[in-house]
Every structure is written in C-alpha cells, then in structure tokens.
C-alpha cells in the first residue's frame, strides 16, 4: 500500500515537536564514500551530528545500523534485523509513535531509514523534506537519552526485490534505474565492477525528482514524470540504484506521487558482481 504523507515540511515538524505527541526524530546524515581529493577527509556523520542537530534527534549510522557489511549481496545489503531493531529501540522508536527521519538535505540516507522502517512494519514514518537545511529553528549539540522503544521489526511491510525479481520486473512491469544517466548508459562506473544497467530497466535518475534545495517536486509533477517513464497502467514498479540507498529515495518519490514500488536493495553493486548476469549499455533499456 502506498505510504500516505510520506514527507513532512520543517514547519509541520516544528509544530509536531511542540505538540502533545512529539515524534521520534532520527538524524541519518551520510554521504556516499567515493575517491576523495588528496588530504580531504571522508564525511563523518556522527561528527556533523555532534556539531549541531535538531533538538531531540538521535543519530543513526547508515553503514552499521541501516545496512550490514558489504559483500556478495552488495555494498549496502539489508541489516540484520536484530541490529536494526536494537538501533531503533535505542533511538526511542515504538510501534505506536510517529517517526521523522532527516539527513543533510540530499534525502538518500533518510529515505533508506524510511524504507527500512516501512519494510519492517512501522505504520507512521516520514522524511523531512529538504533535510536539515530546511530547518529554521535552533540546533543543539547535546545528545538526548530517550526511553527505550518497543519496536520489533517484522519484514514484509514494503516491497522487496532480489536479483531474479528485479530481472523479472524489468520484463513484466517497470524497473527504474535511479542512478545518474551516464552510469546507466555504461559511460562511467566509479564504484562497481562494470558499468551499464539491468536489461529492460528504464533510466530515472533520482536527482530529477526534486530541486537543488533537496525538496521533492509537487506530487502532481512527480506523478507526471513517472507516468511518462512508463509507470502508468497499473503494472508493478520496482527501483534499483548502486547499493539500495538512492533507490530508496526514488521509492519515496514514487510514494509521494501515489505509486507503490518495490526496492531491489542489492542493486547494481550486487547484480554486477556476478559475471553471468547480463548487462545492457547505452540509452536503450534493452
């Protein structure tokens, strides 16, 4: 079922935090690790959190709590349920309490947390549209100590694809590739073993779902975008990306547009490891 009210504005969040039933707030700031210029340190989400975060937010680490170790299942495979559940309870997440997730503005990491909570059965989770830069209130540097939550993750609340399911959906439905167009076409591949795309997949770069400020396009515009790309006749829809992070953001964009979509978490980082799997290159899906 499509998630209603999948995103929230900063003003709505401020009202909710001041209300009688404030949401649990998760800070999931993260950046994709790629080759850095000499002397440039990698992004440290925990340090960014310590330097200032929305009051009451708890930091959640994407690499260790929203994913398991890289390997045959990709660069950001599903986390162990015990690890994910413990992280959510530590942050104060309970089944009956709303959850709001934000990151540094790109939206990818926040969407990954949103998708995982939905997939494991949380009924009320949203992403702060525009992330931390959209917040106009004060920040704090002290870490809160919320009461332990009671959330117990139960898989199955959102669509999940494996490699075979993604390949089948590319033939029988619509499979969107959320990576940049040049990676889809196989012109460059800065991270994974080989460039290109899953045969039959349609290029739908995540960065075209919103503006430079990180906010999503209006729902009507997103619906028109995805309709033009083939999600128009009720066929099943799936999404993949490099490692199941930006793809979660596309699933979120589809939810805003009123379209259900499944996520291939292993994505290209899993698909491309197996040399027996076919690879298409160029702008043509086939």
Q: Are residues 186 and 260 in the same domain?
A: yes
Do the domain assignments include residue 281?
Answer: no
Residue with tokens 């079922």: 1
So which residues are the catalytic ones?
241
State the total domains in the chain: 2
For residue 51, how far is the Cα from the chain centroid? 24
Sign of the CA dihedral with 244 first, then 111, 27, and 65 last: negative
Residue 66, helix vs strand vs coil: coil
Helix boundaries (H) for the chain:
10-18, 45-51, 62-65, 81-90, 108-119, 163-172, 181-184, 219-228, 246-256, 267-271
Helix (H) or strand (E) holding 160: strand 160-161
- Of 78, 99, 134, the residue that ends a domain is 134
Sign of the CA dihedral with 217 first, then 223, 227, and 230 last: positive
| pLDDT at residue number 1 | 46
| pLDDT at residue number 39 | 59
Q: Are residues 200 and 82 in the same domain?
A: no
| pLDDT at residue number 85 | 98
8-state DSSP, 134: G
| pLDDT at residue number 29 | 98
182: domain CATH number? 3.40.250.10
Q: Are residues 99 and 181 in the same domain?
A: no
Tell me the sheet residues that pair with 101.
Answer: 26, 127
Rg over CA atoms, the chain: 18
Q: What's the pTM value of the predicted model, to 2 decimals?
A: 0.95
Q: Are residues 58 and 176 in the same domain?
A: no
Q: Are residues 101 and 60 in the same domain?
A: yes
Q: Which domain holds residue 249?
A: 160-271
Residues of the chain falling short of pLDDT 50: 1, 35-37
Residue with tokens 């009956």: 96
Tell me the sheet residues that pair with 126.
Answer: 100
Q: How far apart are CA 65 and CA 21, in angstroms?
A: 26
pLDDT digits (tens, 9 = 90+) for 204-219: 999 999 998 999 999 9
Q: How far apart are CA 206 and CA 222, in angstroms?
A: 11
């Amino acid at each position: 079922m499509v998630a209603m009210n999948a995103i929230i504005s900063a003003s709505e969040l401020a009202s909710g935090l001041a209300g009688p039933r404030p949401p649990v707030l998760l800070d999931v700031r993260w950046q994709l690790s790629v080759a850095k210029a000499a002397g440039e340190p990698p992004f440290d989400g925990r340090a960014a959190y310590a330097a200032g975060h929305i009051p009451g937010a708890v930091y959640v680490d994407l690499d260790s709590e929203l994913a398991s170790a890289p390997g045959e299942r990709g660069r950001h495979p599903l986390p162990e349920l015990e690890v994910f559940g413990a992280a959510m309870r530590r942050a104060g997440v309970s089944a009956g309490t709303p959850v709001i997730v934000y990151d540094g503005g790109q939206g990818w990491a926040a969407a990954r947390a949103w998708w995982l909570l939905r997939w494991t059965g949380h009924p009320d989770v949203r992403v702060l549209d525009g992330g931390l830069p959209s917040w106009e209130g004060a920040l704090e540097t002290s870490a809160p100590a919320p009461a332990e939550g009671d959330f117990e993750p139960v898989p199955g609340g959102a669509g999940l694809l494996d490699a075979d399911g993604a390949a089948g959906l590319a033939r029988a439905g619509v499979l969107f590739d959320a990576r940049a167009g040049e990676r889809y076409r196989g012109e460059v591949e800065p991270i994974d073993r080989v460039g290109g795309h899953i045969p039959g997949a349609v290029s739908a770069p995540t960065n075209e779902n919103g503006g430079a400020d990180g906010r999503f396009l209006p729902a009507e515009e997103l619906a028109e975008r995805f309709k033009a790309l083939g999600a128009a006749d009720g066929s099943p829809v799936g999404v993949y990306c490099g490692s199941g992070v930006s793809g979660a953001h596309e699933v979120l964009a589809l939810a805003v547009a009123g379209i259900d979509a499944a996520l291939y978490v292993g994505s290209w980082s899993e698909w491309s490891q197996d040399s027996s799997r076919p690879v298409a290159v160029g702008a043509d899906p086939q």
